[in-house]
Chain A
């Protein structure tokens, strides 16, 4: 069922993408120790879209994610987040962008153990200068969306792995953020909890978020609208996933 597209641009729904990577090159290190993590990658993710990134270890999946959220800067090429070119932004402006436009979810240890779940979720808002009470209301609203409405005052250590990942997803989406960047969010979970997390991500995408999911599990990739395969820093294949039955 794979369709072939030009490697530099994948077919996208209408409208401006939430994030657009254009010919992105990322080189770690310098001189003889230089490692090319990404070699000319272009990718758009639109609102309402769940894009899965797959590939072997060291293929540049995480680097791609870091670049998309402004956590890292490309050596060459351009990254545009909600229409804003990230090149030339100061660390402070990039941090602001992460507070307002993009949210990350990692494999584990996402939450700050000394803060309650609600406080963790409210953190980006509070850092943004939102009053504590308002930030907490926002957080509780998002927690409700991910099914954790009752656990806001628990500490992360009291939660199961799946619940923690849901809280992390809630935090990545709190406020007006539309881009969710998830790096192996199911990696530390058992199959059932992993399935639930993918469903939450799918729901968020259906509700209007743009989700970029790094995974090496083909069964999770099946929930994506599109799957991008990375190898040695390049997109070697991409497919519109069509396993409707899996949903």
Chain B
């Protein structure tokens, strides 16, 4: 194409001359590209997590672990699949033995890791503790210290950022394991997510080797980090295997080609409709700005035409704008997005609480986003370019108005598309979201095609309106080529917002969606639950709760089984449905075997039951679901402590007693029964039975605050249905709506005001007051915003309702607290719910705000009629 260079030069210089317009267009194309690039880089930047590795190697050359009995073992490169012959007996290597087997000059430091129960001032935690010297160069790269210092002596620890709380902050002393070994927190660090990230990392010698349990290569319970004078090869690995050592070598795993990503992101058909909708929105957004540019430069186009520019040349010059802005905005946007993702990594890591992998921008995906930005720029410049190619130079240069070439759109294809899209939306209701989005896109394209006809229809209704509105409506209709994209842009945004709003509101109206939202206690119950509090903490909690309640209101205490040393034991009973199909709404993690007196029994059964009380006193288990009783006995599997080794079973005489209504524990036993069988008990819950006293919401809030001050490990819950709040919905969608609708309306209004200048001159000449100009501009803003919003809301309802039907109603089997399984209809709320506040905002508040803004930001001085050269 001839003259492309000249065209690009004109675009470039013009872009520099009208900085505001350029910035606006750059933002409109660049920001979506930046946003997409940022999300892509933030999500895919760290790359897939290496799920083969058991322990982060850091700067070490290898990690070894093993036992003398494992001699002649075989392993894979990751040390994951290991097989050996030999007895269960393990004789671990000593550090000297390991060093002797390695190349001379190798350096070895021990690393150990295991699950521990540790005590904080607010109660117990369970989590991994790693024992390694973080100051050693070999540990480098496995962590980043964010606060305090590294442990330098036995008894010192850093806490993982994910576990940082008031009870684990630097300065606090924790007590690990049964022996309550003191660990003083001296710093906070982010840890690599490889293997099992630790809650705490302690200095070597803080915990005895024996505390880390059996030798287990998959848990890296007892291992050594190796610094070798030369890379550890596969041959070295095989040689060490002969001695009984499992080796994970950096040199070996670095040589393994990376896995194919198991999840390659959404497929093309899944994202195509969203890309289409976004592209449509960006094109409609930026289109009016390009149209404004063409209008301002109409004289320039005329001059070029006079000097021999053919229509194709003029089109090229106008399209060069699209190319220039598309490329510039996309490159800037992509760079901004990737750069922001890179800069945000420390923040993301801090937020995630872990070190993310090495950053690698997903260039292919980012380039695709940028390419779409360029396409958007070209598409947005297309209509103005066609208009520019039709410039009548004689008309422009002599100051005559160009004859309008606007047609009333193409109603028939528009109607066909709208009907087809709506039908497809109805059909796709409750199906894959991609189908609904595709149908919505088809409807959108139809509506965009129909917009000019719609504007014309509105103008015909405007005859009775006051002058500014009448003028605005007629002017909009007369310049449909300019008005239609603006209205369509507002409409497209509003369609998306309405659809999201309807879906969101419907989800809110559907009620509980996840397990903890199912009832955990009789309605009106106040419960304070937590199994990790010490008796002293429970005493303080109890007196805090008592202080807020009237005297004589009983505080029912529920305990659960524990080991002699006080480690809670989870009790499981056989259930009559496969566990994988069942949801277990047991937030207390006790297995719902409660230990207590007749008050507890009354609370659980929801009635006084002398037979049950008698059974309890006789030392029998009162079981609410008789189906699990076999020959008068119930069998419990008890799991306590960190390891699977600690699982034990307990068989108790039992009586089946059905509760009145739903029962609130699977079984109740007396504390004496626990003691007789060699178990201790710990408090798991304090309850105010609503039959005794209904705790008011305000009191519950005060109790919650008081308990929070004592320990973060206790949960206060008032069992009342909570009405779903849609404040979040309003804030998020409201802000998006305000930005999109007002922004687009203002751009389009500026354009309209610029174009109607001759008319305003005439009005001025015949004596119109200055405020008439303000009123006219306000009217122009109102016409665009109102038309776009109203059609958008109407068009957004269908995809919104269709999406709200997805996923369709399905059944969930839950195991009630009394051990009886029940079927719950999930998603059985109303078919759809309209967010009326959002709709009101869209069709009333925002158009009025747009009109007000148009009036406020317009200079009221009317232009003087300008003499033109003839």
Which A residues are closer than 8 A to B by beta carbons? Answer: 57, 62, 66, 69, 71-72, 91-92, 95-100, 103-104, 106-115, 119, 122-124, 126-129, 132, 171-172, 184, 187-188
Q: Do A123 and B6 form a contact, CB below 8 Å, given A106-B397, A112-B303, A187-B869?
A: yes
The answer to whether B394 has its CB under 8 Å from any CB of chain A is yes
Interchain residue pairs with CB less than 8 A apart (19): A62-B870, A69-B306, A96-B310, A99-B307, A100-B308, A106-B869, A107-B869, A108-B869, A112-B10, A112-B300, A113-B300, A114-B17, A114-B300, A122-B6, A124-B307, A126-B3, A127-B307, A128-B3, A132-B5
- In the complex, are the beta carbons of A128 and B307 less than 8 A apart? no
The answer to whether B46 has its CB under 8 Å from any CB of chain A is no
Across the interface, A92 reaches (CB within 8 A) one of B6, B307, B310, B869, namely B310
Q: Do A171 and B308 form a contact, CB below 8 Å, given A95-B313, A126-B5, A132-B5?
A: no
The answer to whether B9 has its CB under 8 Å from any CB of chain A is yes
Q: Closest CB-CB distance, B400 to chain A, in whole Å?
A: 10
Residues of A within 8 A of B313 (CB): 95, 127
Chain A residue nearest to B17 (CB atoms) is A114
Q: Do A171 and B312 form a contact, CB below 8 Å, given A107-B869, A119-B9, A126-B3?
A: no
Q: Do A110 and B303 form a contact, CB below 8 Å, given A91-B310, A129-B2?
A: yes
- In the complex, are the beta carbons of A95 and B5 less than 8 A apart? no
Q: Please, how many angstroms separate the alpha-carbon atoms of A63 and B3 in the complex?
A: 29
Q: Please, how many angstroms separate the alpha-carbon atoms of A99 and B9 in the complex?
A: 19
- In the complex, are the beta carbons of A95 and B394 less than 8 A apart? no
Q: Do A95 and B14 form a contact, CB below 8 Å, given A71-B306, A112-B303, A127-B304?
A: no
Q: Please, how many angstroms separate the alpha-carbon atoms of A72 and B299 in the complex?
A: 17
Q: Please, how many angstroms separate the alpha-carbon atoms of A223 and B5 in the complex?
A: 40
Residues of A within 8 A of B397 (CB): 106
- In the complex, are the beta carbons of B308 and A127 less than 8 A apart? yes
Residues of B within 8 A of A69 (CB): 306
Q: Please, how many angstroms separate the alpha-carbon atoms of A108 and B13 in the complex?
A: 21
Chain A residue nearest to B309 (CB atoms) is A127
Q: Closest CB-CB distance, B810 to chain A, in whole Å?
A: 62
- In the complex, are the beta carbons of A91 and B17 less than 8 A apart? no
Q: Interface readout for B272-313 with A: 1 if CB under 8 Å, 0 if not?
A: 000000000000000000000000000110011111111111
- In the complex, are the beta carbons of A115 and B9 less than 8 A apart? yes
Q: Closest CB-CB distance, B389 to chain A, in whole Å?
A: 9
The answer to whether B398 has its CB under 8 Å from any CB of chain A is yes
Chain A residue nearest to B311 (CB atoms) is A91
- In the complex, are the beta carbons of A114 and B14 less than 8 A apart? yes
Chain A residue nearest to B3 (CB atoms) is A127
Across the interface, B307 reaches (CB within 8 A) one of A57, A104, A113, A188, namely A104
Q: Please, how many angstroms separate the alpha-carbon atoms of A107 and B398 in the complex?
A: 11
Q: Which of B13, B304, B308 has the most CB of A within 10 A?
A: B308
Residues of A within 8 A of B2 (CB): 126-129
- In the complex, are the beta carbons of A71 and B393 less than 8 A apart? yes
18 additional contacts, CB 8 Å, given A69-B306, A188-B869? A62-B398, A71-B306, A92-B311, A98-B306, A99-B308, A106-B306, A109-B299, A112-B303, A112-B304, A114-B14, A114-B16, A115-B10, A115-B13, A123-B304, A126-B3, A127-B313, A171-B307, A172-B307
- In the complex, are the beta carbons of A95 and B309 less than 8 A apart? yes
Chain B residue nearest to A112 (CB atoms) is B300
Residues of B within 8 A of A114 (CB): 10, 13-14, 16-17, 300
Q: Please, how many angstroms separate the alpha-carbon atoms of A97 and B394 in the complex?
A: 16
- In the complex, are the beta carbons of A95 and B310 less than 8 A apart? yes
Q: Closest CB-CB distance, B354 to chain A, in whole Å?
A: 52
Instruction: Describe B's contact surface by its main secondary structure.
Output: helix
Chain A residue nearest to B393 (CB atoms) is A71
Q: Please, how many angstroms separate the alpha-carbon atoms of A71 and B14 in the complex?
A: 26
Chain B residue nearest to A128 (CB atoms) is B2
Q: Closest CB-CB distance, A203 to chain B, in whole Å?
A: 21
Residues of A within 8 A of B309 (CB): 95, 99, 127
Across the interface, A129 reaches (CB within 8 A) one of B3, B9, B16, B393, namely B3
Residues of B within 8 A of A106 (CB): 306, 397, 869
A-B interface, 8 closest residue pairs, ranked by CB to CB distance from nearest: A99-B308, A114-B13, A95-B310, A98-B308, A129-B2, A126-B6, A127-B3, A107-B869
Q: Please, how many angstroms separate the alpha-carbon atoms of A164 and B598 in the complex?
A: 104
Residues of B within 8 A of A187 (CB): 869
Which B residues are closer than 8 A to A by beta carbons? Answer: 2-3, 5-6, 9-10, 13-14, 16-17, 299-300, 303-313, 393-394, 397-398, 869-870
Q: Do A98 and B10 form a contact, CB below 8 Å, given A108-B869, A127-B3?
A: no
Across the interface, A95 reaches (CB within 8 A) one of B16, B300, B305, B870, namely B305
Q: Please, how many angstroms separate the alpha-carbon atoms of A199 and B869 in the complex?
A: 23
Chain B residue nearest to A57 (CB atoms) is B870
Q: Do A104 and B870 form a contact, CB below 8 Å, given A114-B10, A114-B17, A132-B5?
A: no
Q: Closest CB-CB distance, A31 to chain B, in whole Å?
A: 15
Residues of B within 8 A of A184 (CB): 869
Residues of A within 8 A of B398 (CB): 62
Chain B residue nearest to A171 (CB atoms) is B307
Q: Closest CB-CB distance, B304 to chain A, in whole Å?
A: 7
Q: Please, how many angstroms separate the alpha-carbon atoms of A113 and B304 in the complex?
A: 12
Q: Closest CB-CB distance, B441 to chain A, in whole Å?
A: 37
Residues of B within 8 A of A97 (CB): 308
Q: Closest CB-CB distance, A197 to chain B, in whole Å?
A: 16
Q: Please, how many angstroms separate the alpha-carbon atoms of A208 and B285 in the complex?
A: 53
Residues of B within 8 A of A132 (CB): 5-6
Q: Please, how many angstroms separate the alpha-carbon atoms of A160 and B312 in the complex?
A: 33
Q: Please, how many angstroms separate the alpha-carbon atoms of A126 and B308 in the complex?
A: 10
Q: Closest CB-CB distance, A241 to chain B, in whole Å?
A: 24
Across the interface, B308 reaches (CB within 8 A) one of A95, A113, A188, namely A95
Residues of B within 8 A of A129 (CB): 2-3
Residues of A within 8 A of B310 (CB): 91-92, 95-96, 127
Q: Please, how many angstroms separate the alpha-carbon atoms of A229 and B16 in the complex?
A: 46
- In the complex, are the beta carbons of A123 and B307 less than 8 A apart? yes
Q: Closest CB-CB distance, B310 to chain A, in whole Å?
A: 4
Q: Closest CB-CB distance, B689 to chain A, in whole Å?
A: 81
Q: Closest CB-CB distance, B394 to chain A, in whole Å?
A: 5
Q: Closest CB-CB distance, B319 to chain A, in whole Å?
A: 15
Q: Please, how many angstroms separate the alpha-carbon atoms of A112 and B300 in the complex?
A: 6
- In the complex, are the beta carbons of B311 and A95 less than 8 A apart? yes
Q: Closest CB-CB distance, A180 to chain B, in whole Å?
A: 12
Q: Please, how many angstroms separate the alpha-carbon atoms of A148 and B13 in the complex?
A: 22
- In the complex, are the beta carbons of A103 and B10 less than 8 A apart? no
Q: Please, how many angstroms separate the alpha-carbon atoms of A99 and B311 in the complex?
A: 13
Q: Closest CB-CB distance, A159 to chain B, in whole Å?
A: 16
Q: Which of A98, A112, A124 has the most CB of B within 10 A?
A: A112
Chain B residue nearest to A119 (CB atoms) is B9
Residues of A within 8 A of B5 (CB): 126, 132
Residues of A within 8 A of B3 (CB): 126-129
Q: Closest CB-CB distance, A98 to chain B, in whole Å?
A: 4
Q: Closest CB-CB distance, A154 to chain B, in whole Å?
A: 13
Q: Closest CB-CB distance, B789 to chain A, in whole Å?
A: 37
Q: Do A104 and B10 form a contact, CB below 8 Å, given A127-B3, A187-B869?
A: no
- In the complex, are the beta carbons of B308 and A72 less than 8 A apart? no
Q: Please, how many angstroms separate the alpha-carbon atoms of A104 and B393 in the complex?
A: 12
Residues of A within 8 A of B870 (CB): 57, 62
Q: Closest CB-CB distance, B581 to chain A, in whole Å?
A: 70
Q: Please, how many angstroms separate the alpha-carbon atoms of A69 and B305 in the complex?
A: 12
Chain B residue nearest to A99 (CB atoms) is B308
Residues of A within 8 A of B394 (CB): 66, 71-72
Residues of A within 8 A of B16 (CB): 114
Q: Please, how many angstroms separate the alpha-carbon atoms of A99 and B304 in the complex?
A: 10
Residues of A within 8 A of B13 (CB): 114-115
Q: Please, how many angstroms separate the alpha-carbon atoms of A115 and B307 in the complex?
A: 14
Q: Closest CB-CB distance, A139 to chain B, in whole Å?
A: 12
Q: Please, how many angstroms separate the alpha-carbon atoms of A100 and B17 in the complex?
A: 30
Q: Closest CB-CB distance, A92 to chain B, in whole Å?
A: 5
Q: Closest CB-CB distance, A27 to chain B, in whole Å?
A: 14
Q: Please, how many angstroms separate the alpha-carbon atoms of A127 and B308 in the complex?
A: 8
Q: Please, how many angstroms separate the alpha-carbon atoms of A245 and B245 in the complex?
A: 115
Q: Which of B3, B10, B393 has the most CB of A within 10 A?
A: B3
